[in-house]
Amino acid sequence: MVSVLKRMGVAIAMPVLLLGCTDLGAVREWSSTSLEATQYNELVATYAETPARLARYDAPAAASAWTEQAALRAEQAEALKTQLDVVADYMGVLATLSSDATVDYSRDTDALVASLRNLDTPISATTLGAVGGLMKTMVNAAAGAWRAGAVERLVEQANAPLQTILASELRAIVAEDFRRDLEIEAQLLDSYFKGLLRAGGGSATANAALQEWYEIRKAENRKRQTAVDTYVSVLDKISAGHQQLYDARGELDSVGLAKKLFRLAKDIRRDIRTLIAA
């Protein structure tokens, strides 16, 4: 009888034990990888420097216009970095909770949203509200000492503001404004260097050096365009991954979700390597 009871006890206890040991390794891997990607700020710095770079190849009469653009780009770059920082913070919080550790987060939500609002670049009220909402969710997670069992609650509360941030000005500045700048740069490079080469007057050696310099600048431009395409892809993959988390929030340790998240994490890591190479 004792043996039977022991076997029954084991049979009863095992499901309870398994239910208590939720494995969120895939969630942790995806969020950690997304954190790494959002901390890549080289693209933001390059964007801010673009007007100064373009002014070198444009007519002198356009100098004042590029100076104005430089001021605007600096404000946009600050908006980009601030929003990326908040997304990175969230990915860090999600990774921490997935490790069953408590969160330490105490950034001043109102001050950060106010700093975004005061930038000389249009950030919609919807985006500002989303940034504030995502930050307050993280503050609540820290204040409530949430752990792994609260990941579902975190994902549920964070999905809407996170998706708004990833789809709004953050994406538009990278996908539209920066890409447009790079297209202008490509045109200016063609006009500037081809004009010099057509004018001639230099030695064969000087012309060869000029041609080489032209090709180097064009290659740099192509790399920047690749970086833009890659970063937009990263933002979209982070958005898709979190939506999958939200859709499966009641079964975050499911095999199907784990496969999707590990695949996305692998893709994002490949994108990170592309960004570094660019």
pLDDT tens-digit map of 134-148: 999 999 999 888 887
Do residues 88 and 21 touch, judged by C-beta distance below 8 A? no
CA atoms within 13 A on the CB side of 234: 29
Provide the pLDDT confidence category of residue 178 given band limits of 50, 70 and 90: very high
| Token output for 111 | 């001050």
The backbone torsions φ and ψ at residue 22, rounded to the nearest 5 degrees and listed phi first, read -65, 125
Do residues 133 and 161 touch, judged by C-beta distance below 8 A? yes
Residue 214 to residue 217: CA distance in whole angstroms: 5
- Please state the pTM of the whole predicted model: 0.86
Residue 215 to residue 89: CA distance in whole angstroms: 40
Does the pLDDT at position 196 exceed 50? yes
Domain ranges of the chain: 23-277
Terminal Cα-to-Cα distance of the chain (whole angstroms): 70
pLDDT in tens, 203-246: 888 889 999 999 999 999 999 999 999 999 999 999 999 999 99
Does the pLDDT at position 2 exceed 90? no
Which amino acid is residue 255, in one-letter code? Answer: V
Please calculate the CA angle 217-219-222 and round it to the nearest 5 degrees: 115
Residue 167 buriedness (CB in 10 A; 0-12 / 13-18 / 19+): middle
Does the pLDDT at position 187 exceed 60? yes
pLDDT in tens, 97-106: 998 888 888 8
At 104 the three-state DSSP class reads: coil
Residue 26 buriedness (CB in 10 A; 0-12 / 13-18 / 19+): buried
